Amino acid sequence: MLSFAEEIFLLALDDKQGVIKPLPVSALDYALAGALLMDLALQDRIDTDLTSLSVTSTEPTGDPILDDTLRDLQQKPEPQPTSFWLKYFADQSKRIQERVLARLIHKGILKQENRRILWVFEVRRYPLMDNHEVKEVKTRLRELILSDDIPDSREVVLINLGNACRLLDDLFTPAEYEKVRSRITALARLDLIGQEMAKSIREIERTMAIAMSMTMMA
């Protein structure tokens, strides 16, 4: 089974171009941070409520990225708000992305290609080698959202991550998406870490929009 960080990375990848799709500002940084925390929560290492996140088990998961995350979470003696940790890990997103990419390449799901543009600029692309996992996740999420089924915790997390990065509309026709938009919102709300993550992304977008409008007015 893929980790949430791997799944959201694959969902965010334009599989024809082998590059990350255009996403809201900082969305992937926060989605990867949220993905790590949500994986730890579903593996019973952390718990959250409306005020804080606490480590409930220090037993390693066996996943090196998650275990480093769990170690970092133990550095603060007092429980911190979930938003604090989301920012902490989002700030390390470049390093996390590199590790997630390396793992997807190692698993044979992606390959790395280096190309030169105008013989000078090197561009790195990550074409999909095996699209079975991506197809399976997309089909499962599409079917769940179109039905009135109750999601499991894993599906809630994936919907939350996909919605925060605005990647779920790719799964539907525009007419279908209009019909399922409210169900997506309702399902994405069911996870508290995911809610905090979506809130952080919205706040950054709002700040950027204000900054841009002030620049244009100046």
Partner 1 sequence: MNISESKQGNVTILKAEGKLDATSSPELDKRLSSLVESGTKQIALDLAGLDYVSSAGLRVFLSAAKRLKQAHGKLALANLSVQVQQIFDIAGFESILPVFKTVNEAVESCAI
Residue numbers 188-217 binding partner 1 by CB under 8 A: 189-193, 195
Q: Which amino acid is located at 200 in the chain? A: S
At 46, list the tokens: 């952390």
Choice between 123 and 150, CB closer to partner 1: 150
- 29, 37, 64, 192 from 91: Cα distances, Å: 7, 14, 19, 21
- 27, 162, 185, 214, 217 from 202: Cα distances, Å: 9, 14, 14, 18, 22
Choice between 125 and 181, CB closer to partner 1: 181
Percent composition of the chain: helix, strand, coil (DSSP 3-state, to 5): 60, 10, 30
Residue numbers 51-70 binding partner 1 by CB under 8 A: 56-57
Q: Are 123 and 116 in contact (CB under 8 A)?
A: yes
Choice between 99 and 181, CB closer to partner 1: 181
Choice between 45 and 103, CB closer to partner 1: 45
Residue numbers 101-160 binding partner 1 by CB under 8 A: 149-153, 156
What number of chain residues touch partner 1 (CB under 8 A)? Answer: 23
Question: What are the residues binding partner 1 (CB under 8 A)?
Answer: 41-42, 44, 46-50, 56-57, 149-153, 156, 186, 189-193, 195
